[in-house]
């Protein structure tokens, strides 16, 4: 396992991040704990969860599993989604964040969170209130670093600008959906991250399981995440002509090297310049071990380029116009 600096910080994180969204739901506590310990034993140190995952159960399982190994872990969680029935049980008000961090700390059985992330942009709370509250949390020691997730480029830049102008804590990372199937972040977010030195820790790096190769064109799945997924993870969203073309390209690579489709898809991300640490999940111990097999090797330049080409977004204005003036 290799390590990378997370954004504009001195924090080193493993090249893979273990996502805990399945813990307490698809994966029972015993197997979740085994995954966490195997991940740490194999050199991983970066674990991501959220207060809303399985009603807080994911945080509780993670906290219990790392209790005796807390110093080894870069622990990340999130705040924003609704956690109760009352009007102030969601969002980024000072009240919600202060309540949320204390609730997460209790479930995680720790006195600090390494990376506290804003889960989705909040259209109600002024970013000034949010950033100042997060700055207070860092000053208090409850939080070490902050990040965001699912932000548009202008939203992240607005927050970074406010932090810089007022000399307050700034985001060191963003957690967007990004994979061979979903490269929308190439348009503005990834260039911004490169310019501002913000780490990128993608979720759904194998397209919600689509890139595992277990799904076939024209056959609606009856099991697995895509069988009952909604929104981004729905079969309707994933099963289009371009995605099957990308999957075919991934499978062609697997026929030439001794790796699985999921390992190829993850390795492509591991070797993309702007990506810091893809967040992988697992619904079984076998799936966990398979995903861990994506490290310790590297796709050939030809294979990487072929996958990059087949998954690349079409040229759009103003990018294609501005390319003419690049020096």
Residue 144 confidence (pLDDT): 98
Rounded to the nearest integer, the mean pLDDT of the chain is 94
Residue 320 confidence (pLDDT): 85
Q: Would you give the distance in Å from CA 158 to the centre of its chain? A: 21
pLDDT surpasses 90 at 231: no
Establish whether 92 is a catalytic residue: no
Q: Would you give the distance in Å from CA 313 to the centre of its chain? A: 21
Query: Which among 285, 264, 276 has a CA at the least distance from the CA of 2?
Result: 276
d(CA 283, CA 47): 16
pLDDT confidence of 239, banded at 50, 70, 90? confident
Residue 192 confidence (pLDDT): 98
pLDDT surpasses 80 at 216: no
In this structure, are residues 268 and 254 in contact, taking their beta carbons and an 8 Å threshold?
no
pLDDT confidence of 150, banded at 50, 70, 90? very high
Query: Which among 326, 318, 260 has a CA at the least distance from the CA of 293?
Result: 260
Catalytic one among 53, 92, 145, 178?
53
d(CA 153, CA 79): 20
Query: Which among 269, 265, 260 has a CA at the least distance from the CA of 290?
Result: 260
pLDDT confidence of 256, banded at 50, 70, 90? very high
Mean pLDDT, residues 132-143? 98
pLDDT confidence of 224, banded at 50, 70, 90? low
Question: At a CB cut-off of 8 Å and minimum separation 6, what does 66 contact?
Answer: 36, 40, 47, 72, 73, 75, 110
pLDDT surpasses 70 at 39: yes
Say yes or no: domain 3-206+271-297 is CATH 3.40.1530.20.
Answer: no
Mean pLDDT, residues 134-156? 98
pLDDT confidence of 191, banded at 50, 70, 90? very high
pLDDT surpasses 60 at 250: yes
d(CA 234, CA 254): 25
Residue 322 confidence (pLDDT): 85
Residue 112 confidence (pLDDT): 98
Query: Which among 207, 201, 81 has a CA at the least distance from the CA of 147?
Result: 201
d(CA 43, CA 15): 10
């Amino acid at each position: 396992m290799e390590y990378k600096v997370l954004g504009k910080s001195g924090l080193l994180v493993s090249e893979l991040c273990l996502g805990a969204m399945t813990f307490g739901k698809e994966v029972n506590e015993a197997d979740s704990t085994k995954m966490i310990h195997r991940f740490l034993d194999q050199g991983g140190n970066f674990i991501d969860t959220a207060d809303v995952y399985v009603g807080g159960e994911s945080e509780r399982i993670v906290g219990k599993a790392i209790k005796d190994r807390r110093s080894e872990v870069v622990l990340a969680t999130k705040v924003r989604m609704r956690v109760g029935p009352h009007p102030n049980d969601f969002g980024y008000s000072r009240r919600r964040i202060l309540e949320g961090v204390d609730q997460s700390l209790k479930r995680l059985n720790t006195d600090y969170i390494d990376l506290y992330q804003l889960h989705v942009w909040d259209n109600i709370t002024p970013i000034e209130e949010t950033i100042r509250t997060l700055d207070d949390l860092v000053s208090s020691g409850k939080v070490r670093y902050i990040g965001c997730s699912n932000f548009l480029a202008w939203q992240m830049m607005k927050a970074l600008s406010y932090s810089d102008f007022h000399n307050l804590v700034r985001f060191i990372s963003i957690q967007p959906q990004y994979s061979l199937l979903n490269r929308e972040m190439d348009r503005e977010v990834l260039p911004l991250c490169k310019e501002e030195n913000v780490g990128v820790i993608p979720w759904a790096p194998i397209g919600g399981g689509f890139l595992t190769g277990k799904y076939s064109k024209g056959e609606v799945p009856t099991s697995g995440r895509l069988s009952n997924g909604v929104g981004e993870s729905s079969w309707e969203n994933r099963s289009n002509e371009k995605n099957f073309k990308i999957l075919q390209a991934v499978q062609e690579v697997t026929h030439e090297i001794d790796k699985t489709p999921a390992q190829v898809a993850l390795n492509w991300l591991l070797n993309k310049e702007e990506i810091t640490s893809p967040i992988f999940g697992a619904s079984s111990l076998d799936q966990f071990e398979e995903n861990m097999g994506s490290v310790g090797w590297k796709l050939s330049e030809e294979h990487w380029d072929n996958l990059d080409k087949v998954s690349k977004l079409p040229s759009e204005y103003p990018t294609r116009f501005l390319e003419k003036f690049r020096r």
